[in-house]
Amino acid sequence: MRLFAGAIHSIQASFLKWFIYFIRVMPYHAAIGTGRFFGMLAWLCIPLHRKIAYIQMESALGTVDEKTLTRKVFMHQGDIVIDMIRFSYMDDDELKKRVIIDGREHLEAATASGRGVMMITGHMNWEILGHLPRLTGIEFCIMGDIIKNEAVQAVIEDIRSRCGITLLPPKGGMVAMLTGELKEGRIIGIVIDQRGKRESKVFCDFFGLPAPTNPAPAFIALKGDALILPVSAVKEGDVYRFTFEKPIDTREFGDDFHAIDKLHDCWKSEAVRKSSDLMQAWLCSVIRETPGQWFWLHSRWLRRSEMKHVLKSGKDFAKYVKTQADSYLGKDSMV
């Protein structure tokens, strides 16, 4: 069995290497067309994710054209894959022609402060933001997921290493590791729209609905005495626009987080709750501007099993989400 699994992993890695090679040598628009074709194929073949995208977009954005907008979301994921590969093998001069940076003064102000900086973003062209070291000269680290297929993981690590970012292992004390980076005055990057455990009781307003939110970004920023630097990436034609917002000073939220030792106790800290709310509100404002580029395929408010239940039973999505939040926050409510 182990030998068979090893052979499958080897085949997968070989296919990925050939795919990367062809994407690199294709004319750019042909490569983008290929990515969008696979996105369209996924839209046709994975109805669950299509329905998840639609029900969330309808609730967050109001009445939407289900086919048009969900198809756009799937096809844009193809863009990200292609651009992630193409940008990794571009020289720096060509890369700089493909990216426009707004708000550079906010980046410079944050890095000149002498304090640690936490750059925050969402699942919206996040892989492309990894090229910031090549574009700006800054150094920062992130925590990356590890794929079980070691051969495929090696290929992905090679692509990410070409960005210039430092990858930290995803295990071994994430909070302590990233807090330590900030206390040393370094820069870290983190994606803030991960669904948190409802047992942690940190719920943030996300497009008008209470979303269980991972308190780790806020907790780490507060413990590391960091400046929070929001940065977004939006694709405009063949180029990306990176936008840095004004840094947020964690000292403005108070110091009651000092009494917290564990992530699951973060709900007791007003500083954690308020800073989490502010980060999620910023991200919502960015998504509203270009909704087709956010990763709506991710089940943001509910667990996947619950989302399947809602879709199958025809329950009211918004009501179900609110009821789940009420049950964990100690409010009386019924589905």
Mark out the alpha helices in 46-185 (DSSP H runs): 47-61, 66-89, 92-97, 104-112, 126-129, 132-136, 150-161, 174-183
Q: What angle do CA 106, 205, 316 make, to 5 degrees?
A: 145
Range of the domain at 312: 2-329
Q: What angle do CA 68, 73, 76 make, to 5 degrees?
A: 120
In a domain, 308, yes or no: yes
Do 221 and 272 contact (CB within 8 A), yes or no? no
Q: For the whole model, what pTM was predicted?
A: 0.91
In a domain, 335, yes or no: no
In a domain, 334, yes or no: no
In a domain, 24, yes or no: yes
In a domain, 206, yes or no: yes
In a domain, 116, yes or no: yes
C-alpha–C-alpha distance, residues 309 and 49, integer Å: 14
What are the tokens at 288?
Answer: 């509203």
C-alpha–C-alpha distance, residues 151 and 291, integer Å: 34
pLDDT by residue, tens only, the chain of 335 residues: 565 556 676 787 788 889 899 999 999 999 999 999 999 999 999 999 999 999 999 999 987 777 888 999 999 999 999 999 999 999 999 999 999 999 999 999 999 999 999 999 999 999 899 999 999 999 988 876 666 767 777 777 777 778 888 877 766 678 999 999 999 999 999 999 989 999 999 999 999 999 999 999 999 999 999 999 999 999 999 999 999 999 999 999 999 999 998 899 999 999 999 999 999 999 999 999 999 999 999 999 999 999 999 999 999 999 999 999 999 988 543 33
Q: How many domains does the chain have?
A: 1
